Amino acid sequence: MARRRSPVADIREILRRLQLGEPNRRVARDLGISRNTVARYRVWAARHGVLDGGPLPAPATLAELLTPAPSERPAHEQSLVEPWRERVLALHERGVEGQAIWQLLVEEHGFTGSYSSVKRFLRRLAPSRSRATLRLEVSPSEEAQVDFGYAGEFLDPESGRVRRTWVFVMTLSFSRHQYAELVFDQTIETWGRLHRAAFEFFGGVPRRVVLDNLRAAIRRR
């Protein structure tokens, strides 16, 4: 069975013929596409300097050039998550999973999109990277891991001011379920409240909690 050409390969063929000076009608006829399609790519190629001569962009480079930035996409193609781009990426970089990010958006901003829309947003903007991991086998309810880190500056809805924020993330080691919450301070009182909220969310308390080098977890004498 013949292997189907990729869309990028087809577009490179259009651009190659346009570079050779072939008219739109001939390119459209030979490739079995409409003249309007060829005309659109001619305008695009002229805007990006592709018709000025020289080698065509590599397939990967061409794919990036053909992908519009979020602000250039039609409104119906923009993600519902776009208004919270910075916050979502900051949470994702701290290790917060998509499900917990979606829950935070719903609770804090009245987000009406689905969990799938958050997953698609993260997949497009922060593609997963292959990395070696060491999985430690634990029993259910045996262990939870806690991370607490800076998440950027965001608007405090109570004060109306932009303030520094931190994200608390508790992950059950066995199931990888997460509880995440954004806060505006690192006090011991907040630290204790976050743990209670996480335990209530999970419906129980693990036998041990592993802390990730957290200053907020150490009381000063």
The residue ranges of DSSP E strands in 37-191, in sequence order, are 143-155, 162-172, 178-183
pLDDT attached to residue 2: 39
CA 105 – CA 96 distance, rounded (Å) = 13
CA 7 – CA 2 distance, rounded (Å) = 15
Helix axes 7-19, 59-66, angle to 10 degrees: 90
CA 172 – CA 148 distance, rounded (Å) = 15
Pairing of β 178-183 and β 208-211:
unpaired
pLDDT attached to residue 168: 86
Helix axes 35-47, 24-31, angle to 10 degrees: 120
Q: What 3-state class would DSSP assign to 168?
A: strand
Alpha carbon 116 to chain centroid, angstroms: 12
CA 33 – CA 37 distance, rounded (Å) = 7
pLDDT string in tens for the chain (221-residue length):
334 344 666 788 888 899 888 998 898 888 877 777 788 788 888 887 888 777 888 877 776 666 555 544 454 456 778 877 877 887 787 778 787 888 777 766 667 777 788 888 888 765 544 444 445 577 888 898 888 877 777 767 677 777 888 888 888 888 888 888 888 888 888 888 999 999 998 999 999 888 875 655 555 44
pLDDT attached to residue 166: 82
CA 148 – CA 135 distance, rounded (Å) = 21
